[in-house]
Structure 1
């Protein structure tokens, strides 16, 4: 259980503070939704690009492009998370969004595979500014006992952006040409990024409010000196001392790898699976069915956050371990829904859509909670480094959902594809078992 300091502060929030914090939350929600929109724009434009014969692309070409992105994104997320602990997260969030918008626009003007790869690599680098910035802002504005709920609510940015991507990018590409599948998301991102830089602030102190949860409280005076010394560590020493030396971080990281293999595999290849294996007539129809993944993820994230907060508040023990137990239950659900998605007959379109919805429900809960656990298991000054490291490992997993899975499908069929995703679920569950009693940073101090 958490100490009483954050509880007292929660009860004393002023109306002005709550109004300001709501504006902050809306800003990071919309901002990261736009990051996700520009990240997924290629996924739902790709079928139109393959159909455009003048581009000379095939499914393997798309796999090459999509594999480059997560490698660059993961490295960028790592570096920006570590370096970002010294920078303004609001500026990083808005500036990165503007830049990724311009890269999407430039992609729409391109026509060769090498240039596509270069620009999508640049997009991956710029996308890395988003999540660590939002994580720092969330941990600054929201206390521990409410953080799971609000982190889950913020996590629906993935789903809002993912839901909008097939509708906006896919529809624009189909109606006006593949170029507009990139141009439309890019223009929206630039506009929102400008608004964020103009209005968003990093922490309550920047608006004249008290911190919601100071790491050094009256209850922790005995360790305040040593904690202050840790906070003054240089970047690399901070990373090693507070993040890489923590065995729980490594367990979370390898589990994140597995979760992102499944997540990116479903996101990148489910449209092609429905067309090739289930007889869906075109990419537009398949994209509409797949959009249910994000709607299910939205609901699953919200419920996972609420469940984990309630579990922590009403039971004793390690707070991080309580959230991990929820993650394990969700991963069993992912495995069950993957089996159902493979088994459902071709003619049952509604059932396919429902199953995709449930895959999203169970998949995005772990994706959200693992990131939250990574933030809570380290101190506030190391949140960016922790999230950056976890994100880097996660997107190594996502990279394995590009070319490796495309080759697996070409060589052994879609059955091997689903076997790989189910194996990732199983490994993730095994990795989490030793973490079911883990305590948060505040509980340990």
Structure 2
């Protein structure tokens, strides 16, 4: 299909749909954990090894994929990742030992890491600067849509057909859909007045910035540490939430799946609303640095997340309160992640924007890695109360860190601001 004959909305719709399939494949392991435990007699720590192998591979691959997307076709990178993810799911359905399962799921994480960097390039190529934040939120919500559907689709398929058939079927869908995407999603429009040309002119010009200077950027360091913490919370709930609800809250599998649905539904709402709310806050505060202006809303989301974890872990004794807690955790954590992604781009020089997001995303993946085996080990040796306390304390640390950082950045901005000129 010719790039100049493609409607931008069709490109976004196709990419959105593809990322929903990406996330369904990604969560097929999480929602088959109970079946794997009973079928293969696995312990929570062994499931944590498999989960951590995926997180490690995904973090490394996402960083490398960001570099590769500058050199090869993002649409082909997107499709190769989806197809290979499907093949690895089919291979997973034939494995039985922990070592083989972890190795195959590691491969799945490698190719899953191609998805988001390719989307980032496609958004940059097809969107003008004024559309970037809105579409960033929209594609963040695409992942949440897939994760919202996953508890019902995956647990339903596992219950009816078994976990092996489920993995094989999900893999077949990924491979089949990926075959059409290179012909449906051009890398960029060809019009000389295209959004890509506009953004290229805005970002043109020499830059003395280096990767070392990027690592010394205080805002990038703040975003990276925050990304690590919030990813530990999100992946901790995503990986272990179903088992936590079944074993600690004594919910049956279907009810626990509905709670996980509300967690992902909250993520959809948080991702969509956050972009518009942060832009409004940016206009109201009128900060010189737009990344600093997004800290207050991020801090409020952090307070919301901490309160939701306290409610779930210590207070919730009814299903209604569990539902409210799960929705709040999803909305707040995904909202924070969306804001941190935008802040990483705004805090860095244009010539290093892609590297900045790759660095902060890598920190997030390390947080996700910590939510695998380490959190599983804590749950095994200190029960779910110990794991819940870790996540609750992590949630409490985010608004404290952001409040201290906001005070420091606001003070620095006020000190360096030029005084108004005196009237003659």
In the superposition, the TM-score normalised over structure 2's length comes to 0.88
Q: Which residue of 1 aligns with 2:259?
A: 289
The answer to whether the 8 A contact 1:40-1:162 is kept is yes
Shift, 1:208, TM fit:
7.1
Q: Which residue of 2 aligns with 1:393?
A: 363
Residues 294-338 of structure 1 deviation map (CA, whole Å, 9 limit, x = unaligned): 101101111111101222234411211222221111011000000
Structure 1 counterpart of 2:41, from 12, 32, 56: 56
Structure 2 counterpart of 1:161, from 130, 146, 158: 146
Partner SS for 1:291: helix
Moved more, 121-130 or 322-331: 322-331
Q: Which residue of 2 aligns with 1:275?
A: 246
State how 1:257-276 maps to structure 2 within 5 Å: 257-276=228-247
The answer to whether the 8 A contact 1:141-1:212 is kept is no
* Count of aligned pairs between the two proteins: 406
Residues 253-302 of structure 1 deviation map (CA, whole Å, 9 limit, x = unaligned): 11100010000111111111111111113x33312221111101101111
| CA gap 1:103/1:407 in 2 versus in 1, 3 angstroms | same
- For residues 295 and 119 of structure 2, the distance between their equivalents in structure 1, rounded to whole angstroms, comes to 21
| CA gap 1:323/1:23 in 2 versus in 1, 3 angstroms | farther
Q: State whether structure 2 residue 22 is matched by structure 1 residue 29.
A: no
Partner SS for 2:163: coil
Shift, 1:384, TM fit:
3.4
Q: Which residue of 2 aligns with 1:111?
A: 96
| CA gap 1:203/1:386 in 2 versus in 1, 3 angstroms | farther
Unpaired stretches in structure 2, ≥5 consecutive residues: 414-424
Q: Which residue of 2 aligns with 1:186?
A: 171
The answer to whether the 8 A contact 2:286-2:293 is kept is no
Partner SS for 2:196: coil
Shift, 1:64, TM fit:
1.1
Q: Which residue of 1 aligns with 2:305?
A: 334
State how 1:119-130 maps to structure 2 within 5 Å: 119-130=104-115
Q: Which residue of 1 aligns with 2:342?
A: 372
Q: Which residue of 2 aligns with 1:4?
A: none
- For residues 175 and 206 of structure 1, the distance between their equivalents in structure 2, rounded to whole angstroms, comes to 50
Shift, 1:18, TM fit:
12
- For residues 70 and 351 of structure 2, the distance between their equivalents in structure 1, rounded to whole angstroms, comes to 7
The answer to whether the 8 A contact 2:125-2:195 is kept is no
Aligned-residue RMSD, C-alpha: 2.5
| CA gap 1:168/1:210 in 2 versus in 1, 3 angstroms | closer
Q: Which residue of 1 aligns with 2:56?
A: 71
Residues 222-248 of structure 1 deviation map (CA, whole Å, 9 limit, x = unaligned): xx5424x87xxxxxx6x446x434332
Shift, 1:57, TM fit:
1.7
The answer to whether the 8 A contact 2:45-2:380 is kept is no
Shift, 1:379, TM fit:
4.8
- For residues 261 and 157 of structure 2, the distance between their equivalents in structure 1, rounded to whole angstroms, comes to 15
The answer to whether the 8 A contact 2:129-2:199 is kept is no
Residues 414-433 of structure 1 deviation map (CA, whole Å, 9 limit, x = unaligned): 23222211222233334434
Q: State whether structure 2 residue 398 is matched by structure 1 residue 413.
A: no
